Amino acid sequence: MTTPALLPLSGRRIPTLSPGASSFPHHRATLRLSEKFILLLILSAFITLCFGAFFFLPDNSKHKRFDLGLEDVLIPHIDSPKEGKHASGQVVIHGQGGHDEHRHREEEESLRDKIRADHERALQEAKEKLRKSREELQAEIQTEKNKVMEDLKKKDTGPKPLPPVPMPKVAGVSDGEPPEPDVKEKRDKIREMMKHAWDSYRQYGWGHNELKPLAKKGHSTNIFGNSQLGATIVDALDTLYIMGLHEEFRDGQEWIEQNLDFGVNAEVSVFEVNIRFIGGLLAAYYLSGQEVFKLKAVQLAEKLLPAFNTPTGIPWAMVNLKSGVGRNWGWASAGSSILAEFGTLHMEFVHLTYLTGNPAYYQKVMHIRKLLAKMDRPNGLYPNYLNPRTGRWGQHHTSVGGLGDSFYEYLLKAWLMSDKTDTEARKTYDDAIEAIERHLIRKSNGGLTFIGEWKNGHLERKMGHLACFAGGMFALGADGSPDDKAGHYLQLGAEIAHTCHESYDRTVLKLGPEAFKFDSGLEAVAVRQNEKYYILRPEVIETYWYMWRFTHDPKYRQWGWEAAQAIDKYCRVSGGFSGVKDVYSSNPTYDDVQQSFFLAETLKYLYLLFSSDDLMPLESWVFNTEAHPLPVLHLGNITLPGSEPAQR
């Protein structure tokens, strides 16, 4: 494909000399031609200016004429008091035609006088401009510039300083060294894996959202639009801090201070940006006390608020950070929003209201909760799809895995984060889990407890890797369960952990598939080729960690170590860590993506699994669904702004 020739700014091609032509024309002829040319140029410039003033200076005549034309076309003619129809079907009232014509003539004459006066004034202004010297014109231009700058300064006074609020009590943000030498050795290995993942990203993908560890270059996906927002940096910050990798943490902080800009023209996932960026920035702020993280979190949150501008207040899945225009995923049930996306905002938005004093964040998420509370739920289950225009459920598909998972998690964690004062959230969680137990949780023929998916009135006996987080959720929510069911839910958590361990143990690589079935004699095994991949997911290890914290059964550390060894053996490459496409193959191919959540979640949960319980104690911290820890808000007598019933 040839590149078109460039034109000079005048829009004309520069003439080229033909070979052999003289470059130096006769001097006298040049002078005469130049004088005539200059005079002609001045005259033509003046004429052009005058005609330009005549034709292009703004006036209302064109608009008025257009209006008159519209009246003639659209407004019925008035001829007589009786209505009738022309052949064209236009309604006409007969009578008063002469009076109307006279009025139109007067209006046109008045318009001509106005146009004449406008043009005379424009010509006079043009003449005055031509009389002014170059210095006078430059001075006028500078005055106008200064006026515009002053107006801009008045409009943009910069972000308002955030109100001072007491820092929540934070505990156990560092150390956590285990007393057992063998456990310490394992923890050090996890730290070394984090260092390898971070250093590889630092070298090959710095500033990009994620890393392609084999190609050794940056990587991004559609959840971040076309922007380079350094997702891995923001996602990894709190893991670096907890592991004591403070030099790496400072590198990340410096990049955020100098480069993280949310004013980009990029369409991003509201859910993903909330859990990774706002969650990551808030966690980094609470751990380190560095104000820049809080300010950046608030800047981004303001960019997400337009996503809630829907008829129901249920937010769009995506929003353009620059324009504020929102929309939903094309594949989601007839333009629906997704339960796990609009239901996974509560933790971060409550903290935003706490830190800023702006009630909007709290009110937005409480409005969602109240709207859901009023809706009918088939069999007590929450479908995964809700239309933000109509407020009606989409396809009746319920899962505790993808599309549903973190909605239930955030109901429980809203209660925990409120220092167990948000009893409405706890009751909603308990009711939802009761319906899930009744309709979705089953035991296989081989005795494995699994969580299926409800689709159009029947149970699909398939469990996703994402649903494996629920073992940890059941254990976390055991204390405070109704009807003295704490022991029951701790046992249920243990059974889910066991099933998910089996899904790992029944593969060649000892890494779990994306989804696994429980029918046709196959149990905890993937059937379809497109469900056999492992993309460095954390959910199984997350459950191991919660079960370890609540039971201290050594098998959870053993299972976690098996997973860590498998990741290090089969996913580690010279440029970082990569997912694999088939966990049942002894010679797997790589997907060449180091996910940001691998640093945010998988390695963090492994590190905590081999740390003592006084590192990030669960009495003080609640982890968001991206494993970013947020402190419990011991509000006492403090009332969150806007915590009265939300009015949208």
Active site annotation includes 539: yes
Catalytic residue among 235, 348, 514, 592: 514
Residue 14, amino acid: I
The residue written with tokens 């069999």 in the block is 379
- Among residues 267, 272, 341, 591, the one annotated as catalytic is 272
CA distance 417 to 639: 14
The one catalytic residue in 341, 405, 409, 542 is: 405
Residue 412 and residue 473 in contact, taking contact as beta carbons nearer than 8 Å: yes
Q: Which residues contact 257 (CB under 8 A, 6 or more apart)?
A: 292
Rounded Cα gap, residues 362 and 353, in angstroms: 6
C-beta separation of 285 from 253 below 8 A: no
Which residue in the list 235, 430, 539, 592 is annotated as catalytic?
A: 539
Q: Does residue 514 carry a catalytic annotation?
A: yes
Element (H, E) at 233: helix 231-242
Burial of 111 (0-12, 13-18, 19+ CB in 10 A): middle
CA separation for the pair 564, 190 (Å, rounded): 8
- Amino acid identity of residue 150, one-letter, is E
Please confirm, yes or no, whether 405 is among the known catalytic residues.
yes
**Residue type (1 letter), 389:** R
Element at 193 (helix H, strand E): helix 181-204
Is 221 marked as binding a ligand? no
Tokens at residue 167, please? Answer: 């820092």
Do the beta carbons of residue 333 and residue 395 sit within 8 Å? yes
**H or E segment and range at residue 372:** helix 360-374
Q: How far apart are CA 71 and CA 487, in angstroms?
A: 78
Of 496, 502, 475, 471, the C-alpha closest to 486 is 475
Q: Which residue ranges are tagged as binding site for Ca(2+)?
A: 625
User: Looking at the annotation, which residues are catalytic?
Assistant: 272, 405, 514, 539
Q: Which residue ranges are tagged as binding site?
A: 625
